[in-house]
Amino acid sequence: MSAAVDTLRLTAEDALGLVERREVSPAELHGAYLEAIGERDGELHCYLRTVAEAEGTSIPIALKDVISTRGVETTAGSRILSGYVPVFDSTVAARCKAAGLTLLGKTNTDEFAMGSSTENSAFGPSRNPWDPSRVPGGSGGGTAAAVSAGLAPWGLGSDTGGSIKQPSALCGNVGLRPTYGTVSRYGIVAFASSLDQVGPVAKTVRDVALLYRIIAGRDAADSTTVELPSAVELPSAERLEGLRVGVPRQAMALEAIEPGVRAAFEAALELVEELGAEVGECDLPLSFDYGLPCYYLIAPAEASSNLARYDGVRYGRRSEGESYREMVEGSRDEGFGDEPKRRIMLGTYALSAGYYDAYYGQAQKVRTLIVREHASAFEKFDVLATPTSPTVAFPLGDRTADPLAMYACDLLTIPSCVAGLPGLNVPCGFSEGLPVGLQLIGPQFGENALFRAGHALERALGLDLVPARLRA
């Protein structure tokens, strides 16, 4: 029966139907994906490891390797955690298990989720299923590429400054970064605590909403979580009457946006208008001018502290040393790759005596302004829209030599992350034969509005999101 399953096209919702109607068993479905992984993952390297046995009563799921899974190695893409096997489940992994989902495997990520191309993984880069010479985006490139290449029906990523939305855009699928505080971070290998959020990646907006429903809600183990103020709604409307969509002028003024991306985005916006929505311009001047610098102070500062626990004492890589200090310094120098080191250094500097007020303290104040600016935009609009990534997927190696060029990948996703707001990537067209993503940003807890808008757009566009080279 598993031969009948076309993992390239099967949505999670349809897969759930197959299992519910007992047309396919969870084990068969799991097997079908493992088979696809066997065929295609040698080239794409989406998975760091797979799980052979289907333990569950429902469909499979792929989890980014920053998500702790009891008994299954979790490395966060870092040498320093090579061989680390968590003795506890993250809350999201436990909720997936409770929903019957079977763990298909752990997907590749930039080391500690720091990066925008998956090239910072200590275990080698993942590749874009549309063109394997190009990156799948990052840090969650493994999950995004797996979903687009039919190697998982859906998956979970983590997003600090764009790590769910940007790879989804580059791989041509749907990714949600939820409102900060709606999904538990317990058991997620931390990068930047005030920014990290776990969220779903899938083929359709409805799939993303279904998975969000499974993982969202208050968790007693994470003080910073809340109960959702309203239940998750599965979107079905195909029209957008009454929806007010704001387009930030300052985002569209960015020269970094490629013409092909701009064209696809603008065409999609016209379609949104045709569906009945009102589209207008809004202003977020500080957010787009200061969002990136603000993020690159807050995130590294928190990261420098979050990564201090990797000392070779209780778990992870240990280097030999005559003294405790030598052992710790050696373990960290050998265990961390270039990007975590860069951010640890930057963050340590930004927090150190004499610099706190000028850097971290000032960035926290800028954050206040970004929050306020977004709040005032949402007085006039229900959702905001921008391209998700200024570019389509770029060739491997293109940006690895210049950290600032890599950081600029997240120019458009970062401001709303800093404000703690939800964002949804929806594929909106192609440029140079590669997917282009549209980012919908909502107010706090505005996920249902994002689902509604994203779903209607997705239906109206009717794009074939199976990578051309993989179509039968």
Q: What positions carry a catalytic annotation?
A: 64, 139, 163
Task: Specify the stretch interacting with another protein by CB under 8 A; choose among 41-49, 139-147, 216-224, 376-384.
Answer: 216-224
Separation between Cα atoms, residue 313 and residue 128, nearest integer Å: 37
In the complex, least distance from residue 413 CB atom to another protein, rounded to whole angstroms? 15
Size of the site for another protein (CB under 8 A): 97
Place of tokens 């776990």: 198
In the complex, least distance from residue 208 CB atom to another protein, rounded to whole angstroms? 21
The nearer residue to another protein, 148 or 439, going by C-beta atoms, is: 439
If binding is defined by CB under 8 A, does position 302 make contact with another protein? yes
If binding is defined by CB under 8 A, does position 365 make contact with another protein? yes
The nearer residue to another protein, 256 or 263, going by C-beta atoms, is: 256
Of 2, 11, 25, 194, the one binding another protein (CB under 8 A) is 194
2 to 61, contacts with another protein by CB under 8 A? none
In the complex, least distance from residue 236 CB atom to another protein, rounded to whole angstroms? 30
Q: CA distances (Å), 250 to each of 156, 271, 290, 412, in order?
A: 31, 22, 12, 10
Task: Specify the stretch interacting with another protein by CB under 8 A; choose among 6-14, 191-199, 243-251, 390-398.
Answer: 191-199
In the complex, least distance from residue 74 CB atom to another protein, rounded to whole angstroms? 7
Task: Specify the stretch interacting with another protein by CB under 8 A; choose among 209-217, 271-279, 356-364, 453-461.
Answer: 356-364
In the complex, least distance from residue 288 CB atom to another protein, rounded to whole angstroms? 12
95 to 154, contacts with another protein by CB under 8 A? none
If binding is defined by CB under 8 A, does position 419 make contact with another protein? yes
Q: Exposed/middle/buried for 270, CB within 10 Å: 0-12, 13-18, 19+?
A: exposed
If binding is defined by CB under 8 A, does position 367 make contact with another protein? yes
If binding is defined by CB under 8 A, does position 224 make contact with another protein? yes
Of 181, 199, 235, 387, the one binding another protein (CB under 8 A) is 181
